[in-house]
Structure 1
Amino acid sequence: MSTLYIRDVPDEVTATLKRRAAQEGLSLSGFVAQQLTKIASTPSNADLIDQLGAMRRDSGPDIQEILSELSNGRR
């Protein structure tokens, strides 16, 4: 595992993170590592756009099927 140092964190941010860590029963370091893991495991908007662009679009409903289902759902 790596060690990460973060400088110039505002005091109010540090206080909030310490409070949230305590609420979760974690150390500040453990809580921040958990949050960074969540951030890193969530795809960025650019990643999502790339994934959507790579998807095949030759299967699935056509426009008339979509409109028909919308119409049926409104009845």
Structure 2
Amino acid sequence: MPKVIQIREVPDDVHDALVAAAAAEGLSLTRYLLRELNQVARRTQIVQHNSEIIHRTRDEVGASLDRETVLSVLREGRGE
């Protein structure tokens, strides 16, 4: 079942910027914020998944890999 989230004490300038961004995309503030929260949640899941892959790979290889090597392999796997 969907949950309700209430955020208190949002500064006026932040609220105004969010309302303007929503309006620019033809969305209500609620729809806009829901879309943005979904994107944040997906990014968080992707970061967690990548972290698990990095740790598992380090354990399997038995060596420490630097960040750029791991990112290069991930990009290659995605065909980037």
- Classify the TM-score, shorter chain: 0.5 to 0.7
Bigger proportion of residues as helix: 2
Q: State the percentage of identical aligned residues.
A: 28
TM-score scaled by length of structure 2: 0.62
Report how far residue 42 of structure 1 moved: 0.5
Which whole-Å CA distance do the structure 1 matches of 2:21 and 2:29 have between them? 8
Structure 2, gaps ≥5 residues long: 63-80
Aligned residues: 58
Runs in 1 of length 4+ with deviation above 3 angstroms?
Answer: none
Q: SS at 2:61's partner residue?
A: coil
Structure 1, gaps ≥5 residues long: 59-75
Structure possessing the higher relative contact order (Cα contacts under 8 Å, 6 or more residues apart): 1
Larger Cα Rg: Structure 1 or Structure 2? 1
Residue in structure 2 matched with residue 43 of structure 1 by the alignment: 44
Residue in structure 1 matched with residue 27 of structure 2 by the alignment: 26
TM-score scaled by length of structure 1: 0.65
Coordinate RMSD, CA, aligned: 2.3
